[in-house]
Chains A and B, each alone.
Chain A
Amino acid sequence: MSAVRRIPYALLIGFALYLAPGCSEHPKQKAYVPKTDTVMISQMKFQPAELTVHAGDTVVWVNKDMVVHDITQAPVGTWSSGPLASGKSWKMAVQQSDDYYCSIHVVMTGKVVVVNDDR
């Protein structure tokens, strides 16, 4: 076989090898669409008290009580919603697990757990 006739075969094999890894990785390249979860503040409780999300998801806290609440990272307060009046909501994109509490009613506590899995 001449060198000239061998070129199309080499191109074909090369092209196949190029495509193969790409095909197998296709599911991993699918972009994750962040979701939004809601925590209701009702009857002086965060409901649910513990919420599991993925990194990048957004959590919305909705104050359904008649009194003002806030959502503050525990224990040092690295982030906080500030005062959240009755009927108002506040949201945050979550990147890491955190405990939180209401600094106005310090016995009210909650937790956001961020899981990292194959998506």
Chain B
Amino acid sequence: MLNRGKVTKLADIFCNLSEAADSNGHSLKKFHKMKSIKQQAALIIGCAIFLFAGSTPVHAQQTPKLADDEIASVAVVANQNDIDFANIAKKKSTNSEILQFANTMASDHQAVIDQAVALVTRLKVTPKDNAVSKQLVAGAKKTQQMLKSKSGKAFDKAYIDNEVAYHKSVIDAVEKVLIPQAQNADLKNLLQQVLPTLKTHLEHAEMVQSRIAKS
């Protein structure tokens, strides 16, 4: 049902659209530095929208294309990615606001994973790998490599820029794809409970991003 090539191609399209939308006033150099961050972010939206709309047969438009076990997998991977980013920040940054934000990300996203694991255990469901979760893992590896290649203020900027973009994308995917497609009421409720946390993270990240830009 899922075509990896199509998923990647669509994600690239979303990446390009995202870059084009934000390119005004940016130098070409800065434009390319942002690419891996935006690719990671666009990947989530691209894959999710592809799965939600692109693969839905005309005769069965109401049929969800991500099963609950696949949604659970996507949720766990998306949270684990941000924990991994936070762990890199905790090792590399000396900025107190970055460290505080990273600690919060690690703690909060672990709490979400714990809730998701408790739920699937109760439901006797095993999170199932799928094209979206695999692409998320692959995208996160590239982001981790990018983050590890930087240091000092450049690292702080790259980390918090990624956090802003990542949370925007995850919020979009949760609102537009994961919640609408979740069949189990408890899973849907868990995703709805997670949304305010993600939005608070985004607000926090934007605040830190603004302060770092001024420093």
Contact = CB atoms under 8 A, between A and B. Distances in A.
Contacts of A44: 196-197, 199-200
Interface residues of B, number: 17
A25 to B, nearest CB: 52
Interface string B84-128: 000000000000000010001001100110010000000000000
15 contacts: A44-B197, A44-B199, A45-B196, A66-B115, A66-B194, A67-B108, A67-B112, A68-B111, A104-B104, A104-B107, A105-B104, A105-B200, A106-B100, A107-B204, A107-B207
A106 B204 contact: yes
B72 to A, nearest CB: 16
A36 interface: no
Interface string A77-119: 0000000001000000000000000001111100000000000
Interface of A: 43-45, 65-68, 86, 104-108
A108 B200 contact: yes
Interface in B161-215: 193-194, 196-197, 199-201, 203-204, 207
A106 B107 CA distance: 15
A66 B112 contact: yes
Contacts of A67: 107-108, 111-112, 197
